A = this chain, B = another copy of it.
Amino acid sequence: MKMDPADLRRVNVFKDAPEEDLKLFVEKGIVRSIEEGEFFFFQGDPAAYFYVLIEGRAKLLQTSATGQQVNLRTITEWQMFGALGAVRENATYPATAQALEPSTALAIESSFLKEMMQNRPYLNINLMQLMTSYIMEMQERYRELATERVERRIALTILRLAAQIGKRTEGDGMTVELPLTRQDVAEASGTTMFTVSRVLADWERRGLVAAGRERVVIRNPHGLVQISEGLDQ
Contact = CB atoms under 8 A, between A and B. Distances in A.
A197 interface: no
Q: Interface centre among A87, A131, A139, A230, by most B CB within 10 Å?
A: A139
A132 B66 CA distance: 25
Number of copies: 2
A72 B142 contact: yes
A78 to B, nearest CB: 20
A183 to B, nearest CB: 13
Contact of A143 (B62, B131, B148): B62
B94 A145 contact: no
Main secondary structure of the interface of A (DSSP, over half): helix
A95 interface: yes
Interface of A: 62, 64-66, 68, 70, 72, 84, 87-88, 94-95, 117-118, 121, 124-125, 127-129, 131-132, 134-136, 138-148, 190, 229-230
Nearest to A84: B132
